[in-house]
Amino acid sequence: MVKQAIKMKRLIKAIWVFNWFNSCGFAEVVPIAGSRWDMERFGIILTGTPRHADVLFIAGYQTFKSMKRAQRICEQMADPKAVIALGACTMSGGMYWDSYNTVKRVSDYIPVNIYVPGCPPRPEALFEACEKIFQHVRAMQ
């Protein structure tokens, strides 16, 4: 465990992120990639494949069909990994709480590590969530 912690601490310069965004989830989170919020200054980088990713962002309402794909993506990610659920719809169905085709409790389907509430969540809240991952690794024994 100690060895692993040292290795992890050496490795954690950046977290690579894979996005699984439905509907407005994409539009509301995409500004963090732009110059105003600029996620790369905090070491958050987008990657094209789940096999390279450390963190999975899930945003927007999830249908049962899309949840199956999200589960697959999550399984493909190499350990250690984290899943961050962004926004009200992802977490609880949000305003689609009475839809027959949206996921009501995301944690029933996928192991979520961090919930970021909001509709949409502020970019700052998202950065804080990612910072918690860095802190977690730095505090490892």
Partner 1 sequence: MAEIPQQRKENKLIEQISSKFEIEGTVQRDRRVWVTTSKDNLIALCRFAKRLGFHHLSAISVTDWPQEKIFELTYHLWSYSARILLTVKTKIDRADPKIDSAIPIFQENAQIHERELHELFGVQFEGNSDLTPLFLEDWDGPPPFRKDFNWRDYVRQKYYDRSNEREKPYWE
Kindly list the residues in this chain that would bind partner 1 in the complex (CB under 8 A): 63-65, 68, 97-101, 104
Task: Give dist(CA 82, CA 13) in Å, integer.
Answer: 16
Q: Strands 44-46, 82-86: parallel, antiparallel or unpaired by DSSP?
A: unpaired
In 3-state terms the chain splits into helix, strand, coil percentages (rounded to 5) of 50, 20, 35
Least distance to partner 1, CB of residue 92, Å: 9
Q: How far is CA 113 from the centre of its chain?
A: 9
In one-letter notation, the amino acid at residue 55 is V
Nearer to partner 1, 10 or 65 (CB): 65
Least distance to partner 1, CB of residue 21, Å: 17
Nearer to partner 1, 30 or 95 (CB): 95
Nearer to partner 1, 27 or 64 (CB): 64
Least distance to partner 1, CB of residue 94, Å: 13
Q: Which two tokens stand for residue 68?
A: 């199956």
